[in-house]
Chain A
Amino acid sequence: MSKKVSFIGHPNVGKTLLFNRMTSCNHCVGNWSGVTSGCHQATTTTQTNKANLVDLPGCYYLPDQNINEHQPESIRNIQQALYANDTDLWINVIDANALAHQLMLTLALLEQGRRIILVVNRVDMAKNKGIEININKLSSILSIPVVAISAKFGTGINTLKKALDIELSDATQRSDFVLRYPQPLENIIQQQLRENKADNRFAAIAKLIHDSHDKCLPSYMLQEGFDALLKGCQYGVTELTNQVKRAEANNISKACIAQTTKQQQEYSKLLDTWLLHKWFGLPCFFTLMFAVFWVSMFFGQHLQAVLEPIWQLLFIDIPAWLLVRWRAPIGLVIVLSQGVGMGVVTALSFLPVLFCVFISLYYLEESGYMSRAAVVIDRVMRALDLPGESLVALILGFGCNVPGVLATKHIARKSDRITTALMMPFVSCSARLSIFAVFCATLSKHSAAQVLFFLYLSGMLVALLTGYLLKRYLLRDSEESTTYLLELPAYQQPIIFEALSHGAKRSLKFVYDAITPIVCVCIALACLQHLSMDGQFSQQPSSASALAYIGKMLSVLFYPLGINQQQWPLVVALITGLLAKEVTISTLGIFYAADYLYHDASWYAARPLVSVVLHAFSAVVDGLYKWGNIFSFGITSVEYSWLSPQNTGFISEDHLISYLLFTLLYFPCISTLYAIAKEVGWFWAKLSLIWSCLAAYTVAMVYLFISLYLPWVKFALINMLYLGCGLGLISLIVSKLYTAYIDYEARKPLVHEAFK
């Protein structure tokens, strides 16, 4: 029978990393507190035993049995694990660099009479700092097995497994270490235990704390001297026991630590001085964010340009060629190549970008900067009651919404995670930028830039509105956010190999999970595009297809947005845009210019396989050439002559802008939707879907209405917007200068004080 072993310890001591090492799981880890908020479970086998390992979120103190409404979700999870009493053995993970601080939790666990293995993690880091820990002495003082490991480098894991095996085989061994309290308190605890009013010392103390809450002590506590003992403590027994534990933990750590040198400690502090500097902090933040963004988007997309032709060859061209050669029915060719093949290629197209995003995120987290980033922008995000981490996710969303949504995993509170994920679809991603760029190219140069700015801004405004509404009405938190405490971990150097494997594992996992829904949507779209209303498959999408028919029907709905029935290809493009927003343009190309994205059967039939392969490789070479201009950040807008107003039928610029607004907001593409569902659940994904469609329709309609019938309102609004931005910027600068002045003034009296 497998035995239950749970991990417990302070946040960010490496519990999850150790858990991953022992179970070959791949749960999210990061160099900051609160990465794990739920519980993970997995089994592992030691030599003679089978253990069911449970990874718990980190906690600074051991909660008692009483449920408290202010407790966060993580503490409640720990309570459940602690008082379900089904855990055979606890692995208490502590950080070698903060031994005295973290031993308090160990002492509390021992007080509860639990069987524990103490794991001292990060011994490598401690060694670099010149801290040597005498493991044997620690073990003999506490009379529990102690193992020194480095979860990062994987050292000591085998020793831990052996210790685990021994402990699991012999369930009788218990520590005989007892933490003695000052006499009057000790007497009361002993009395409680004698009278069977509490199971263990911890429970006895918890009962004391609970009973002595109202400053009026019950009769059993009226021991001689106890009153005097409590007098020095404002917070009664809680504070008193805490003091005793801290003193004991300090003594133990002093006895076990030999600090040889005191160097390197300052290295982390020096970095903080600059990265959290009053003036350089924000520029540092934006530079680093830009670096992450650049690596993930430009690097990822250039990688994608090389890889995509290969995937198209493997999943679309070769199957299509084979099927055409075998004279398969045209319907089958389309379903397999345009449906299944296209779906696989779409899902795989996220791989390079996600890979790069996860690697850069891993670097941000593991280095320890992520928690600093959260601190730097905490004040900005507080207006929405969101943590700083969500801005990092939203910034990533400008590249592609999918990694943005997946980055919300690191946000501790569930409500914040949901809000950020639901704000994400309104952040204008680079796929949408490509649509805007193409359409704006048909406008004059001056208004193109303005329109682009307006679109980005309106996306952000809707995102902010979404966040505000969600926080205000749907996700009201009981925990107030004013009690904001974040431990700043020491900076450390991430391991390159770990970063690569982490990036590969996480991106592959998303692609693997997302492939089925994407393929399903692709098959449906391919069938609708190629099937005409009389049930015949056509080679290429045509105006007689079922999709075109649906588009014509739906165009009635778009009448308020200024789209008439002749403009049905625009509606069809919106439908195909569900797959990925950039497909919108290629769909329009099909209908307006017969510019087909993929080859038809005759193309495959006419040439040998070698020619198909060579065709793909020429595209790879083109992709390689693009690496030459990887450092150019301009938008490459392509001017399509067929996008002229005569073709598309937009009466005015305002009609076009209204359509673009709708495209920006209407539907998070299927991959984003799937990512939202995966991170925060299908309920929220569906809500996001409905809300985004509603918002898109309303915004586009209102815009068109105002610009057509109330042009002076539009004029006033736009000017107010510019004025607002300008004033905001000026007031920011003025306030900064003012605080600098106050700062300067405040220093003066300090100098006098120093002289006194």
Chain B
Amino acid sequence: MDNTNTVIKAAKVKNYLVVGLQHQETHMLNTLLAMGIAPGRSIKLVQESPLGDPIIIEIDNTRWAVRKSLWEQLELVEQVTGTKCGNP
């Protein structure tokens, strides 16, 4: 699995399945899990911000701005488009 996710620069919303978080530090791990970025769940990449860096993702209808550096730490698998985002 490729660890560095290139943010696909397409206008279309992309769905990803979270496989791993890499980030081991307790505070961050707890925050990510509480946000809903947990292995086995899917998240949506909605859009990039104007200057390209924080990217906008959506989990359970809540939107978050995430820096690419964090995004790249997540282990993700792109899901086939058309699947519904939400709780698996």
The count of residues in chain B whose C-beta lies closer than 8 Å to any C-beta of chain A is 42
**Cβ-defined partner of A239 (8 Å) among B28, B39, B49:** B39
Docked CA distance A71–B87 (Å) = 28
Which parts of A31-72 form the interface with B (CB within 8 Å)? 60-61, 63, 66, 68, 70-72
Query: Quick check: B56 and A380 within 8 Å, CB to CB?
Result: no
Scoring B27, B35, B60, B66 by chain A CB atoms within 10 A of each residue's CB, the highest score goes to B27
- Do B54 and A378 touch across chains, with their CB atoms under 8 A apart? yes
Stretch in A330-338, A483-491, A574-582 touching the partner: A483-491
> A83-91, A271-279, A586-594: which one contacts chain B?
A271-279
CB interface residues, B 27-71, toward A, < 8 Å: 27-31, 33-36, 38-40, 46-54, 56, 60-67, 69-70
Q: Is the CB of A281 within 8 A of B52?
A: no
Residues A488 and B64 in contact, CB atoms below 8 Å apart: yes
B21 close to A235 (CB less than 8 A): yes
Q: How far is the CB of A354 from chain B (nearest CB, A)?
A: 30
A residues near B50, Cβ cutoff 8 Å: 276-282, 285, 376
CB A382 to nearest CB in B, in angstroms, measures: 8
User: CA of A269 to CA of B57 in the docked complex: distance in angstroms?
Assistant: 12
Chain B residues with Cβ below 8 Å from A314 are none
Q: Is the CB of A234 within 8 A of B20?
A: yes
Find the residue from A66, A104, A239 having the highest chain B CB count within 10 A: A239
Chain A contact patch, size range: 35 or more
Cα-based distance from A285 to B49 in the complex (angstroms): 12
Instruction: Specify which of A101, A238, A281, A379 is in contact with B29 (CB 8 Å cutoff).
Output: A238
A-chain residues with CB within 8 Å of residue B54 when the two chains form the complex: 375, 378-379, 484, 486
On chain B, the residues within 8 Å of A71 by CB distance are: 27
Contact A485 B47 (CB under 8 A): no
Closest to B32 in A: A485
A273–B51 touching, CB < 8 Å: no
Assess whether B34 is in contact with A61, with CB atoms less than 8 Å apart. Answer: yes
Q: Is the CB of B26 within 8 A of A70?
A: yes
Determine if B2 is an interface residue (Cβ-Cβ < 8 Å): no
**B27 contacts which chain A residues (CB < 8 A)?**
63, 68, 70-72, 75
Contacts of B47 in A (CB 8 A): 272-273, 276-278
Q: Which residues of B have CB within 8 Å of A265?
A: 61
- Of chain B, the residue at the smallest CB distance from A745 is B9
**Complex: A233 Cα to B19 Cα, angstroms:** 11
Q: Is A553 in contact with chain B by the CB < 8 A criterion? A: no
State the CA gap A747–B8 with chains docked (Å): 9
Partner of B65, one of A269, A371, A743, A747: A371
Asked whether B10 is an interface residue with its Cβ less than 8 Å from the other chain, the reply is yes
A98 beta carbon closer than 8 Å to chain B: yes
Q: Contacts of B35 on A, CB cut-off 8 Å?
A: 60, 485
Interfacial chain B residues near A243, Cβ < 8 Å: 38, 40
Q: Contact between B51 and A101 (Cβ–Cβ < 8 Å)? A: no
A242:B69 contact, CB within 8 angstroms: no
Distance in Å from the Cβ of B24 to the closest Cβ of chain A?
8
**Chain A CB within 10 Å — which of B8, B27, B50, B70 has the most?**
B50
Tell me the minimal C-beta distance from B72 to chain A in angstroms.
Answer: 10
Residue of A nearest to B11 (CB): A747
Q: Which of A533-556 contact B (CB under 8 A)?
A: none
Give A751's nearest chain B residue, CB to CB.
B10
Establish whether residues B53 and A98, one from each chain, have CB atoms under 8 Å apart when the complex forms.
no
Q: How far is the CA of A68 from the CA of B52 in the complex (A)?
A: 32
Question: A482 — which chain B residues lie within 8 A by C-beta?
Answer: 67, 69-70
Q: For A60, list chain B residues within 8 Å (CB).
A: 30-31, 34-35
Quick check: B28 and A61 within 8 Å, CB to CB? Answer: no
Indicate if A742 sits at the interface (CB-CB under 8 A): yes
The proximity string for A residues 348-387 relative to B, scoring 1 for CB distances below 8 Å and 0 otherwise, is 0000000000000000000000010011111110100000
Interface pair A487/B63, CB less than 8 Å apart: yes
Q: Which residues of A contact B52 (CB under 8 A)?
A: 278, 379, 739
Chain A hits for B62, CB < 8 A: 98, 101, 487-488
Question: Which residue of chain B is the closest to A754 with respect to CB atoms?
Answer: B81
Confirm or deny: A746 has a beta carbon within 8 angstroms of a beta carbon on chain B: yes
Kindly state the separation between the CA atoms of A105 and B20 in the bound complex, as whole angstroms: 23
Q: Kindly state whether residue A750 has any CB partner on chain B within 8 Å.
A: yes
Query: Which of A235, A242, A747 has the most chain B CB within a 10 Å cutoff?
Result: A235
| B49 lies within 8 A of A235 (CB) | no
Q: A250 interface residue, CB < 8 Å from B?
A: yes
> How far is A225 from B62 in the complex, measured between Cα atoms in Å?
36
Q: Mark A728-749, 1 if CB is under 8 A from B, else 0.
A: 0000000000010011001100
When C-beta atoms are compared, the residue in chain A nearest to B87 turns out to be A250
Q: Given the complex, which residues of A lie within 8 Å of B33, measured CB to CB?
A: 61, 235, 238-239, 242
In contact, B34 and A276 (Cβ under 8 angstroms): no
Q: Are B31 and A98 closer than 8 Å at their CB atoms?
A: no
Q: What are the residues of chain A within 8 A of B63 when measuring CB–CB?
A: 269, 272, 487-488
Chain A residue at minimum C-beta to C-beta distance from B78: A753
Distance in Å from the Cβ of A39 to the closest Cβ of chain B? 19
Q: Complex formed: what's the CA distance from A329 to B49 in Å? A: 66
Knowing A60-B34, A61-B30, A375-B49, the reply to whether A486 touches B65 (Cβ < 8 A) is yes
Q: Are B60 and A100 in contact (CB under 8 A)?
A: yes
Q: Which residues of A (435-486) have their CB < 8 Å from a CB of B?
A: 482-486
Residues in B neighbouring A280, C-beta threshold 8 A:
50
* Beta-carbon contact of A70 and B25 below 8 Å: yes
What residues on B are CB-neighbors of A376 within 8 Å?
A: 49-51
Q: Which residues of A contact B46 (CB under 8 A)?
A: 269, 272
Chain B residues with Cβ below 8 Å from A285 are: 50
Q: Is the CB of B38 within 8 A of A104?
A: no
Do residues A378 and B60 form an inter-chain contact, with CB atoms below 8 A? no
A224 to B78: give the CA distance in the assembly, Å.
36
Q: A273-B47, A282-B51, A484-B70 are in contact. Are A746 and B9 (CB under 8 A)?
A: yes
A-side contacts of B66, CB under 8 Å: 484-486
* Chain B contacts for A273, CB-based, 8 A: 47
In Å, the complex CA distance between A112 and B3 comes to 37
CB distance from B40 to the nearest CB of A (A): 8
Contacts of B51 on A, CB cut-off 8 Å? 282, 376-380
- In the bound complex, do residue A61 and residue B39 qualify as a contact, i.e. CB atoms below 8 Å apart? no
Chain A residues within an 8 Å CB radius of B34 = 60-61, 104-105, 242
Q: Which 4 A-B pairs give the minimum distances between C-beta atoms?
A: A281-B50, A60-B34, A379-B51, A488-B63
A-B contact pairs, 18 of them (CB 8 A): A61-B31, A70-B25, A234-B21, A239-B39, A242-B33, A242-B34, A276-B47, A277-B47, A282-B51, A371-B65, A379-B49, A379-B53, A483-B67, A484-B67, A485-B35, A485-B70, A488-B56, A488-B65
Taking A486-B66, A488-B56 as given, write out 16 further A-B residue pairs in contact, using a Cβ cutoff of 8 Å, ordered by the A residue number.
A60-B35, A98-B61, A101-B62, A238-B29, A242-B38, A246-B36, A278-B47, A371-B65, A378-B53, A379-B51, A379-B52, A482-B69, A483-B70, A484-B70, A485-B31, A485-B64
A interface, CB within 8 angstroms of B: 60-61, 63, 66, 68, 70-72, 75, 98, 100-101, 104-105, 233-235, 238-239, 242-243, 246, 250, 265, 269, 272-273, 276-282, 285, 371, 374-380, 382, 482-488, 739, 742-743, 746-747, 750, 754
